[in-house]
Amino acid sequence: MNYYEFIAEIKKLCDIDLSNYKEKQMKRRIDSLIKRHGYESYDSYLRQLIKSEQHLKEFLGYITINVSEFFRNPAQWQVLEQEIIPELISKKNTLKIWSSACSTGEEPYSLAMLLDKMGLINRVNIIASDIDKEAVEQAKIGVYTSKSISNVPDEMVKTNFLKENDNYVIKDKIKKAVDFKIINLLEDSFPSNCDLILCRNVMIYFTEEAKEKLYKKFYNALSDNGIFFVGSTEQIIMPQKYGFISRKHFFYQKNN
């Protein structure tokens, strides 16, 4: 069995199409996982994935790349706080915001904390989604280490977390502001009429064909003049091709 046959079987097994991911990066990740567990071939590893739910969970967690942190790239969050959100809320009573690859919850909870600080938490609906069920379950629990909250200002830590032993637990007010869902970006339908969509540090893993498909889906999911916020290595080349206007670095507006 070669790599292409293996990813075809993975699609049958768990409905994730790894051909949409950059082949070189994904193959390297999978090969290193197989080697780490001492398997000699894709065949033998696939048999283990079919047989063991624990191994399959580990595999899915590994390939879906759950790297997240609170207020990642703080300068971009300042733009969000000082320009983007005030402009959006000036035109509407309520906003719909979607954190589209939320991993273990740091990004949507950062949003909720920021909106609470701005006095807007009751005027915003936050949806958070990820393809990884385990990550989403972890996000719902909302327990984090001191290392993972290092970017959170001290005042926000006091306001939004309860300290339990060495961990920090998100307070219920913030937790209740976020509605978590399982969404496969390439296969599933998107929430509609979103005023702000965050898809950060995800597109770098996809092929150009998959990116084009996603840009179109995100465009259609935005409300009129809605904002699409991407990661710091993911600037869109020729955004007008997909119907976007560049507003700031990493922020794109739907052009109606």
Q: Report whether 183 contacts 100 (CB < 8 A).
A: yes
Looking at residue 131, its amino acid is I
Q: 179-216 pLDDT, tens per residue?
A: 999 999 999 999 999 999 999 988 888 888 999 999 99
Q: 151-168 pLDDT, tens per residue?
A: 899 999 999 999 999 899
pLDDT at 252: 96
CA–CA distance, 149 with 155 (Å, rounded to integer): 12
CA–CA distance, 122 with 63 (Å, rounded to integer): 36
CA–CA distance, 49 with 91 (Å, rounded to integer): 50
Take residue 177 and report the two structure tokens written for it: 């502001």
Q: Any idea where the domains of the chain sit in the sequence?
A: 3-63, 74-254
Laid out side by side, the sheet with 167-170 consists of: 143-145, 167-170, 161-164
Question: Residue 250, exposed/middle/buried by CB under 10 A (0-12, 13-18, 19+)?
Answer: buried
pLDDT at 60: 80
pLDDT at 248: 85
Residue 125 half-sphere exposure toward CB, CA atoms < 13 A: 12
Question: In a structure prediction context, what are the per-residue pLDDT tens digits for the chain, which is 256 residues long?
Answer: 899 999 899 988 887 888 888 888 889 889 988 988 898 899 999 999 998 888 888 888 777 666 678 998 889 999 999 999 999 999 999 999 999 999 999 999 999 999 999 999 999 999 999 998 888 999 999 999 988 898 899 999 999 999 999 899 999 999 999 999 999 999 999 999 999 999 998 888 888 899 999 999 999 999 999 999 998 778 888 999 999 999 988 999 999 7
CA–CA distance, 181 with 203 (Å, rounded to integer): 19
pLDDT at 66: 61
Rounded to the nearest angstrom, the gap between the alpha carbon of residue 39 and the centroid of all alpha carbons in its chain is: 31
CA–CA distance, 233 with 160 (Å, rounded to integer): 29
pLDDT at 67: 63
Bridge-based pairing state of the strands 222-230 and 194-199: parallel
pLDDT at 237: 85
What is the fold, at CATH topology level, of the domain defined by 74-254? Rossmann fold (3.40.50)
